[in-house]
Amino acid sequence: LEEAAFQLQQIFRIDISIALNILGIESMRAGHCRAAFTCFRLAADRGYSKAQFNVGLCYEHGRGTERDLEKAGFYYCQAASSHHPMAQYRYARYLLQHGPGSLWDRHHKAVALLEQAAEAGITEAQAYLGVFYMRGLQPQEKRGLKYLLQAANSGDAQSRYHVGVCHEQGLGVQQNLAEALRHYRQSAAAGNRQAQDRLQA
């Protein structure tokens, strides 16, 4: 009986958090940023990862509250620890740019989070990792190309342009100008200015 009561409490707690988060989203869409932030905070404090992510966004962009990157990082971290893919990406970016601790520890943790987010299908994480592995102190071109292709196949025109560069210069793949041209054309058709300029050149 105690177990059943506990389960009911958990369900009720989750349902309230979902409702608060939805109310927050609707309030934000209506332009009521302070009310949205309050709803997100209430749901986040109940441990709901989607709301924790939304609180992080509010703090990062100063919507409904003062801009505070440290608090944004805190809430992204909470959501990321519950395997929220977009929070993993945002927290990784926070660690690389603002996070506490040694550069090596932050770097190692950030890359692990980016890879988890990329594997979960977050295009931004795939694109970031692609460039990161191409331009790192010890470039891993094949690994970088893998992530750039994932992002390009998810519709990211900038990553499609970078895939073209890889084929043109033979980075992580055998040089192939025809293949480079194909990727540049696809990227340019999607509105990428660099690809358009490259085609003219």
What are the residue boundaries of the structural domains of the chain, listed by start? Answer: 1-110, 121-200
Q: Residue range 77-82: average pLDDT? A: 96
Distances (CA, A) of 37 to 34, 55, 113: 5, 7, 26
Cα–Cα distances in angstroms (integers) from residue 127 to residues 68, 122, 123, 130, in the given order: 26, 9, 6, 5
Provide the pLDDT for residue 139: 81
Does the structure show a pLDDT above 60 at 13? no
CB-CB contact of 65 with 36 (8 Å): no
Q: Are 88 and 117 in contact (CB under 8 A)?
A: yes
Q: Which CATH superfamily is domain 1-110 in?
A: Tetratricopeptide repeat domain (1.25.40.10)
Do 1-110 and 121-200 come out as alike in CATH topology? yes
Q: Is the pLDDT of residue 12 over 60?
A: no
Q: Which residues contact 189 (CB under 8 A, 6 or more apart)?
A: none
Per-residue pLDDT band for 55 (boundaries 50, 70, 90) equals very high
Question: What integer is the mean pLDDT of 89-93?
Answer: 96
Q: Which pTM was predicted?
A: 0.83
Domain 121-200, classified CATH 2.70.98.60, yes or no: no
Closest CA to 172 of 135, 119, 127, 201: 135
Model confidence at 135, pLDDT cuts 50, 70, 90, reads confident
Distance (Å, whole) CA 45 – CA 51: 9
* Average pLDDT across the chain, whole number: 91
**136-157 pLDDT, tens digit each:** 767 889 999 999 999 999 999 9
